[in-house]
Structure 1
Amino acid sequence: MVEIRTEKLLLRKALHDDLGAFHAILSDARAMAFWYRPPHEDLAVTQAWLADMIEIAPNIGEDFAVEFEGKLIGKAGLRKFPTIGLIFHPDVWGRGLASESLRPIIDRAFTEHGLPMIEADVDPRNESSLRLLSRLGFVETRRERRTSLAGDEWCDSVFLRAHSPHTKGH
């Protein structure tokens, strides 16, 4: 897996040593407010999640651990082509780091992986993610109610899509 350096970030392969940092994010109720599952209460849950992330086959997806100032702050990528996603620690929200991490990932998806489009599934209450994806060229394609059960709460979805600038007609 490649490493990507941006002005402020390092995007790299996730490592088993990242367990503590990822658990700090995935057990934080603020970070997980719009995630597809409730906060991780047990380190073993995060360990299984991290193992799945590490073991993604290159033909299935490309998910990056994201470092800022030498510290792991989250993950961004395409866990399963063509769906993009990210989660960052709340301490770094509002600094433009999500946008900075997604731009090269989107570019790689279109240029290196040849994807004709990328999709996102966002909780409609997550207004900041919807604004971010809109700025990155994503457009809403549909909305659905009760698409996932996070703990005992049903969540709705806004589905968005961005097309490759290299695809004929886009």
Structure 2
Amino acid sequence: MSTAEQAPSADLGERLKQAIAADPGGVLEEIGRREGAPYRAVLDVLPDGQAVAAPGSSFEALWADLAAWPGEITFIVHTRDGVFETRGTIPPGTVGRGYFNIHSDSPIGGHIRFERCAAIYFVDRPFFGRRSCSVQFVNGEGEAMFKIFVGRGPDRELDPAQVALFEAMKAKAAA
């Protein structure tokens, strides 16, 4: 098990919990940076039920489930240098030349080094005062690869069909 995959030390875990309690709807990457912790360590200490992990080896099966979701999602890549968001449908993908390749008419496309995925988290937590549901892919260094957020309608409410599918996938991961 690499250092990034180990549970945070008791002291770090407690600091992270306190930081989350002080800002329960805050940006998790920022909490990790302030505390000197990888992103995965922050996910691992979220309050009960807010983050459920599945193994990274389930990448292809989970992607296939996500590609069947109706409507648009928000695809986010969050780095130290920016947060990039794209809305669209989740295209199906295929493995080739060491990548998981996604192509379609959706604006979401490219090549993912899926074998680097160590864990997939189902995250259900408040963000800026609203419920937020996402599927987050984390690499072996404990950093987010990308995130897929349940879509919102014009009223900014979560898409109920996607929420039901998200909750079913989260329950399956928890079992």
TM-score, length basis structure 1: 0.25
Q: Judging by fraction of residues, say which structure has more helix.
A: 2
Structure having greater relative contact order (Cα 8 Å, sep ≥ 6): 2
